[in-house]
Amino acid sequence: MNRMTVLDLQKKKADNQRIVMVTAYDATMARLVDKAGVDMVLVGDSLGMVVQGHSDTLPVTLDHVVYHTACVARGLQRAHLCADMPFMTFQVSPDQAMLSAGRLLQEGRAQSVKLEGGVRVADSIRKLTEAGIPVVGHVGLTPQSVHAMGGFRVQGRTPDDAERVVEDALAVEQAGAFMVVLEAIPAPLAAEITARLAIPTIGIGAGVACDGQVLVCNDLLGLDLSFEPRFVKRFARLEEIVVGAMEAYAAEVRAGTFPGPEHAFEGRQKPKIARLY
């Protein structure tokens, strides 16, 4: 089975075919989303929140993303694999970005990398793409800038802010990125950017006009029913199923009904002695 390439993903925009992206953080989830026919898997620094239990993505390190990307790579056969560049792995200089991205491709086996920011990271994007490293941009709400933005807030609501988001998206494209994520911006603004860019746009909280969509796997599967952002649709309520299964397991262990005979191994068998006469 052939892996989805950068050219395949760009052709989808040209052919007016929507791109399906989802996050994954381990080989098991990767195998399942790949089986479902997802086009692109992102090992997001969102792992800091949904896997590590932090309140934001800032504690995630490059080693963390390399590890989880390598796990996901082992579970994929078809989907394109993109890895996030965590906080402080590319902000210092383009050279730092090159070294970080190189590890994600070489050790993590990613096919592309994603980094947050527009105009301010254009030089890093340009350096990576010139070295043959495919880059996905990320503009609008950039979670690594959560403190500067005053929290996880929708971006681009005023004319000046909207113009800034447009400038960031154009800078990402001009620097050589093959795709850009638009996060938490008004739907009309996302539609305008999608129409102006030749590269695909992937929306999360950015409306339906984007060339594709991305969601965190834990969110769309309903693994935390207390988390209810406006932009997420739950396609399942797996928290209830998992808790129910665990409760049933606990009840059977306490009642002594699990394991049953069918789950146990028989004792050592006596050797059969062949008749010699």
Query: So what's the pLDDT on residue 277?
Result: 45
- Residue 182's pLDDT band, with cuts at 50, 70 and 90, is very high
Residue 193 identity: I
pLDDT at 98: 98
Nearest 10 degrees: CA dihedral of 30, 36, 41, 46?
-70
Phi and psi at residue 213, to the nearest 5°: -135, 155
166-192 per-residue burial string, b: 16 or more CB within 10 A, e: under 16: bebbbbbbebbbbbbbbbbbbeebbbb
pLDDT at 275 over 60: no
pTM of the model: 0.92
**Does 140 have pLDDT greater than 60?**
yes
Residue 128 has pLDDT above 80, yes or no: yes
DSSP per-residue letters across 19-47:
EEEEE--SHHHHHHHHHTT-SEEEE-TTH
For residue 188, is the peptide bond before it cis, meaning its omega torsion is within 30 degrees of 0? no
How many other C-beta atoms are found inside a 10 Å radius of the C-beta of residue 220? 18
Check whether 67 has a pLDDT greater than 70: yes
Which residue stretches of the chain are H helix?
Answer: 6-14, 27-35, 47-50, 62-75, 94-106, 122-130, 159-175, 187-196, 217-220, 238-255
> What tokens were used for 113?
């990398």
Q: Which amino acid is at 163?
A: E
Express each pLDDT in 232-265 by its tens digit.
999 999 999 999 999 999 999 999 999 999 999 9
Q: Which of 108-112, 119-123, 239-243, 269-273 shows the lowest per-residue confidence on average (mean pLDDT)?
A: 269-273
Please state, in angstroms and as integers, the Cα–Cα distance from residue 153 to each residue in 146, 204, 265, 269, following that order. Answer: 8, 13, 57, 67
Which tokens is 3 given?
A: 């892996």
Q: What pLDDT score was predicted for residue 273?
A: 59
pLDDT of residue 274: 58
For residues 53-60, average pLDDT: 96
| pLDDT at position 145 | 86
CA pseudo-torsion sign 154, 22, 73, 223? positive
Is position 183 annotated as part of the catalytic site?
Answer: yes
To the nearest whole percent, how much of the chain has pLDDT over 70?
96
- Longest distance between any two alpha carbons in the chain, whole Å: 101
- CA 38 to chain centroid, in Å, comes to 12
Confidence at residue 2, expressed as pLDDT on a 0 to 100 scale: 86
Dist. CA 114–CA 180, nearest whole Å? 9
pLDDT tens-digit profile of 149-168?
888 899 999 999 999 999 99
| Mean pLDDT calculated for residue range 91-96 | 97
CATH top class, domain 6-220? alpha beta
Q: What is the pLDDT of residue 272?
A: 62
What are the residue boundaries of the structural domains of the chain, listed by start?
Answer: 6-220
Of 116, 173, 183, 192, the active-site residue reads 183
Q: Residues 55-83: what's their mean pLDDT? A: 97
Distance CA 232, CA 200 (A): 21
Mean pLDDT for the stretch of residues 109-118: 97
Residue of 53, 1, 50 lying closest to 26 (CA atoms): 50
**Rounded Cα–Cα distance for residues 149 and 157 (Å):** 13
Mean pLDDT across 57-63 = 97
Average pLDDT of the chain, as a whole number: 95
